[in-house]
């Protein structure tokens, strides 16, 4: 069942979304060689608490930290750690989900640590374009499957692959709710979009195979071939005019 949000709920989703986006803006200058992912976690945690929000990942199904930090071949759900130090040339996704007044805002983006190789920069740029290709098809009456079709048909001709094992999701009072948003697939399939729907689009795009495996910690998902992966995420509202990005930031 896909819940349609009231005007009041939408206003709260906007606030939560803006705060999640502001957290990414806050962390940007700290993403530097020599910094640990645990330091990024602490800064984001404290920023959210100071703004009267709760970091949704903390203790979510046993997740031990307040953000996800996914470096290089890590596809998603990387766990921040004191022992994990950013190095020149790394690409990292920081994924922030804020709960503010009971509503969730979920957004993530890639950061390049110092100078990054051309293949890595190109992958990051293509993944950002994939997110916006998915967003642009959103409108009342369009089908949820149109999103994945737009993403897949953009990146596969470029030689990249689309991760299958993780999806976007409806979002609201719950972190993950209906509908499930595939980042690949056919046009014209799935539920019709309606005014008041809120969901994330968060394509994970790989340099090599789309296949992934989850590490021993039961969270960290990595590419099977250990080649690079990138991801961007926005929370979207379907409006009478088309869509609204609920997690707007100056970063992407």
Which residues of the shown chain bind Co ion in the complex (CB under 5 A)? 95, 106, 108, 200, 233
Strand partners, 192: 143
List the single partner that 93 binds among ligand MF3, Co ion, none, CB under 5 to 8 Å by kind.
none
Q: Are 110 and 165 in contact (CB under 8 A)?
A: no
| Residue 10 burial class via C-beta count within 10 angstroms: exposed 0-12, middle 13-18, buried 19 and up | buried
Residues 149-188 that bind ligand MF3 (CB under 6 A): none
E strands, the chain, are: 54-55, 68-71, 74-76, 91-100, 103-112, 161-162, 168-170, 177-181, 198-201, 204-206, 212-214, 221-223, 229-231, 234-239, 242-245
Q: Are 133 and 158 in contact (CB under 8 A)?
A: no
Cα separation, 147 vs 163, whole angstroms: 14
- In the bound state with ligand MF3, the residue whose beta carbon lies nearer, of 57 and 203, is 57
- In the bound state with ligand MF3, the residue whose beta carbon lies nearer, of 121 and 132, is 132
CB of 119 to ligand MF3, least distance (A): 25
List the single partner that 146 binds among ligand MF3, Co ion, none, CB under 5 to 8 Å by kind.
none
Q: Does 97 bind ligand MF3 (CB under 6 A)?
A: yes
CB of 200 to Co ion, least distance (A): 4
Q: What is the largest CA-CA distance in the chain?
A: 48
List the single partner that 77 binds among Co ion, ligand MF3, none, CB under 5 to 8 Å by kind.
ligand MF3
Find tokens 């071939």 and name the residue: 225
Among 68, 138, 181, 221, binds ligand MF3 (CB under 6 A): 68
140-143-148 Cα angle (round to 5) = 125
66-70-71 Cα angle (round to 5) = 140
Q: Does 202 bind ligand MF3 (CB under 6 A)?
A: yes
Site string for ligand MF3, 108-147 (x = CB under 6 A): ----------------------------------------
Applying CB under 6 A, which part among 58-66, 186-194, 203-211, 243-251 lies near ligand MF3? 58-66
Q: Does 106 bind ligand MF3 (CB under 6 A)?
A: yes
> Applying CB under 6 A, which residues contact ligand MF3?
57, 60-61, 63, 68, 77, 95, 97, 106, 200, 202, 233
């Amino acid at each position: 069942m896909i819940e349609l949000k009231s005007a009041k709920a939408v206003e709260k989703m906007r606030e939560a979304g803006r705060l999640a986006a502001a957290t990414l803006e806050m962390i940007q200058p700290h993403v530097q060689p020599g910094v640990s992912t645990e330091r990024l976690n602490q800064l984001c945690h404290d920023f959210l608490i100071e703004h009267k929000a709760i970091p949704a990942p903390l203790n979510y199904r046993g997740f031990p930290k307040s953000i996800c930090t996914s470096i290089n071949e890590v596809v998603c759900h990387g766990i921040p750690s004191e022992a994990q130090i950013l190095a020149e040339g790394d690409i990292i996704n920081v994924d922030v989900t804020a709960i503010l007044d009971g509503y969730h805002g979920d957004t993530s983006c890639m950061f390049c640590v110092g100078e990054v190789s051309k293949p890595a920069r190109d992958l990051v740029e293509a993944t950002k374009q994939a997110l916006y290709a998915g967003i642009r098809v959103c409108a009342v009456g369009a089908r949820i499957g149109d999103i994945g079709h737009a993403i897949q048909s953009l990146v596969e001709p470029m030689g990249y692959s689309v991760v299958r094992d993780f999806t976007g999701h409806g979002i609201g009072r719950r972190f993950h709710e209906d509908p499930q948003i595939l980042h690949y697939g056919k046009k014209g399939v799935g539920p019709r979009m309606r005014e008041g729907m809120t969901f994330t689009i968060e394509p994970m795009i790989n340099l090599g195979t789309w296949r992934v495996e989850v590490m021993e910690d039961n969270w960290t998902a990595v590419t099977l071939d250990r080649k690079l992966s990138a991801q961007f995420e926005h929370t979207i509202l379907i409006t009478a005019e088309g869509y609204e990005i609920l997690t707007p930031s100056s970063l992407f």
